[in-house]
Amino acid sequence: MKAHIAVAGLAGLCSLSGHAADPARINWDSVPKSQFTLFYPGQSTQEWMKSAAHKAGATGVNDGKNCLECHKDEEADLGKTIVSGKKLEPTPVAGKPGSVNVTVQAAYDKENVYLRASWPTHAKEAGVFHDYKVFKGGQWSTHSAGRTYKDVREGKAKVSYEDRFNVMVGDNKGTVAGFEAEGCWVTCHNSMRDTPNEPTKEQVKAHPVLGDAGMKKNDIRKYLAETRSAMDDRGGWDKVKDKAALDALMARGVFLDLWQARAYRSLPVGKADDSHVFQWRNFDKGKKPFDSNWDGDKKQPRFMFDPAKNSGRVALTEAQFRDPKAPRLDDGNSIPYDASKMKDGDLLPGFILNARQDGSAADLNASGKWEKGVWTMMIWRKLNTGQKDDVALAPGQTYPIGIAVHDDASTTRFHYVSMPLKLSLGKKDGHVNAVELK
Ligand code: HEC
């Protein structure tokens, strides 16, 4: 993890000005700590939340009651029930804890906001690697991936997936309906990836807006009900509003900012992934910290290592799998893929890092350190980035947020989430109260 800190530190100093721009220089011991129990949500989508299956809760949610009015201090119990598979989880992961305790601190100055989070990991090592592909008999297949992917569950692939700390931020005018009371559940719907009523790849690819003719997606990620012309108890994945209607919503700020500090795909280049939830979970505009290294049409990687920069080799070996000393594939040590150079057993990462980013995708700085079983990650950014796909923050204001952690090689619904929370800048009415740096 030493490399992460060095890279992140440099990025911080280059891209920010002012005495407190580098959060490593903040005296975090003097910043108040808030503790949260993040719990395992399983398939508790917004549609489930509003259905009869949520009993008395559904009436409350439909009346605009905050989850915390009924569930204060119940997070660990909710998580325990769901992770066991008794409720809302058809495919439980053996041995997974139902919740995790996360400590959050926040600060701001005239220009920037700084968040710091730490939590104990379930795994005995840092989740600083992601998926790999392996070459065998002239073909590429999954070598390793997240714990809940089909190939891994069936024992055909190994486990390898990054840890993450995530924050979802809304504006303080209630522009996204329900976010203050229901938190991240306003983005989590039936018909999304790993939830009930999930469409097939072919169905998504055939969709005029989301599929091959439009956004070129093959699955459904988080989305807001506002972007659909109709929602029912199955969700509303295919009922995307027309472009004019979506443009009007975006112009009104009907989206949620999503910040993700990713231990493989963003921290090594000193960044967090800057996205926003709208009609899909979109990346912000510009060159982002990582890109996919997989060409789905040709079923082969897009890039391989430049042998001049990788001890004469175009790929990694099995012995380098999850080796902290093995290089990550990035835009500085790679060349376009050449099938003729591959040998049986060669490994290539599923993603390629970009040392340089630009546009709105480059707004979030981040660093991380895993020590003695505990992650500490920091994200910092301009209070107001001036970008249309970011929520602008200002001193003296309080904003609705949700936080999440992806732990132990898990993604999609297999993460831990917070109840709806608030972040205040300089006031004391939040669950996380950022202090002003003088
Ligand atoms: C008006 C009160 C109320 C509100 C508001 C409410 N719930 Fe519930 N919730 C309940 C009740 C009652 C149950 C059923 C508990 C039981 O059966 O033990 C429940 C059950 C659940 C469960 C299933 C776990 C279990 O043990 O049954 C989850 C998960 C849950 N609620 C999450 C939420 C979230 C997230 C929100 C906000 C979006 C929310 N609830 C809002 C009252 C509420």
93-122 per-position pLDDT tens digit = 999 999 999 999 999 999 999 999 999 999
Task: Return the residue whose CA atom lies nearest to atom 10 of ligand 1.
Answer: 57
Neighbours of 102 (CB within 10 A): 22
Which residues 6+ apart lie within 8 Å of 245 measured at CB? none
Ligand 1 in reach of 80 Cβ (< 6 A): no
pLDDT at 18 over 80: no
Residue 78, CA distances (Å) to 119, 167, 206, 406 in order: 19, 21, 38, 18
Q: What is the whole-number distance in angstroms between the Cα of residue 54 and the centre of ligand 1?
A: 6
Q: What is the whole-number distance in angstroms between the Cα of residue 70 and the centre of ligand 1?
A: 7
| The pair of three-digit structure tokens given for residue 213, joined into one six-digit string | 């003719």
- Give the C-alpha separation, 377 to 106, whole Å: 12
In terms of phi and psi (left: phi > 0; alpha: psi -120 to 50; beta: otherwise), the region of 103 is beta
- Give the C-alpha separation, 399 to 337, whole Å: 45
Using alpha carbons only, give the angle 383, 386, 388 rounded to the nearest 5 degrees. 115
Q: What is the whole-number distance in angstroms between the Cα of residue 346 and the centre of ligand 1?
A: 48
Mean pLDDT over all residues of the chain? 94
pLDDT tens readout for residues 184-193: 999 999 999 9
Q: What is the whole-number distance in angstroms between the Cα of residue 186 and the centre of ligand 1?
A: 15
pLDDT at 14 over 50: no
**Residue 15: predicted pLDDT:** 35
Ligand 1 in reach of 402 Cβ (< 6 A): no
Q: How confident is the model at residue 16 (pLDDT cuts 50, 70, 90)?
A: very low
Q: What is the whole-number distance in angstroms between the Cα of residue 163 and the centre of ligand 1?
A: 28
In terms of phi and psi (left: phi > 0; alpha: psi -120 to 50; beta: otherwise), the region of 318 is alpha
Arithmetic mean of pLDDT, 280-307: 97
Ligand 1 in reach of 70 Cβ (< 6 A): yes
**Residue 279: predicted pLDDT:** 98
pLDDT at 9 over 50: no
**Residue 228: predicted pLDDT:** 98
Place of tokens 């002012």: 18
Ligand 1 in reach of 46 Cβ (< 6 A): no
pLDDT at 3 over 80: no
**Residue 230: predicted pLDDT:** 97
Ligand 1 in reach of 52 Cβ (< 6 A): no
Q: What is the whole-number distance in angstroms between the Cα of residue 93 and the centre of ligand 1?
A: 22
Ligand 1 in reach of 302 Cβ (< 6 A): no
Task: Return the residue whose CA atom lies nearest to atom 4 of ligand 1.
Answer: 57
pLDDT tens readout for residues 133-181: 999 999 999 999 999 999 999 999 999 999 999 999 999 999 999 999 9
Q: What is the whole-number distance in angstroms between the Cα of residue 61 and the centre of ligand 1?
A: 9
Q: What is the CA radius of gyration of the chain?
A: 21
Q: Is 198:191 a contact under the CB 8 Å cutoff?
A: yes
Which atom number of ligand 1 is nearest to the Cα of residue 42? 29
Ligand 1 in reach of 67 Cβ (< 6 A): yes
pLDDT tens readout for residues 318-362: 999 999 899 999 999 999 999 999 999 999 999 999 999 999 999
Which residues 6+ apart lie within 8 Å of 389 measured at CB? 250, 255, 257, 276, 282, 284, 285, 360
Among the listed residues 213, 217, 208, 211, the one whose alpha carbon sits nearest the alpha carbon of residue 242: 208
- Give the C-alpha separation, 32 to 120, whole Å: 19
User: By percentage, how much of the chain surpasses pLDDT 70?
Assistant: 95
Residue 105, CA distances (Å) to 23, 102, 200, 426 in order: 12, 10, 41, 13
Ligand 1 in reach of 263 Cβ (< 6 A): no
Arithmetic mean of pLDDT, 88-92: 95
pLDDT at 2 over 80: no
Task: Return the residue whose CA atom lies nearest to atom 26 of ligand 1.
Answer: 78
Task: Return the residue whose CA atom lies nearest to atom 23 of ligand 1.
Answer: 78
Q: What is the whole-number distance in angstroms between the Cα of residue 57 and the centre of ligand 1?
A: 5
Q: Is 7:330 a contact under the CB 8 Å cutoff?
A: no
pLDDT tens readout for residues 223-276: 999 999 999 999 999 999 999 999 999 999 999 999 999 999 999 999 999 999
**Residue 22: predicted pLDDT:** 83
Arithmetic mean of pLDDT, 30-43: 97
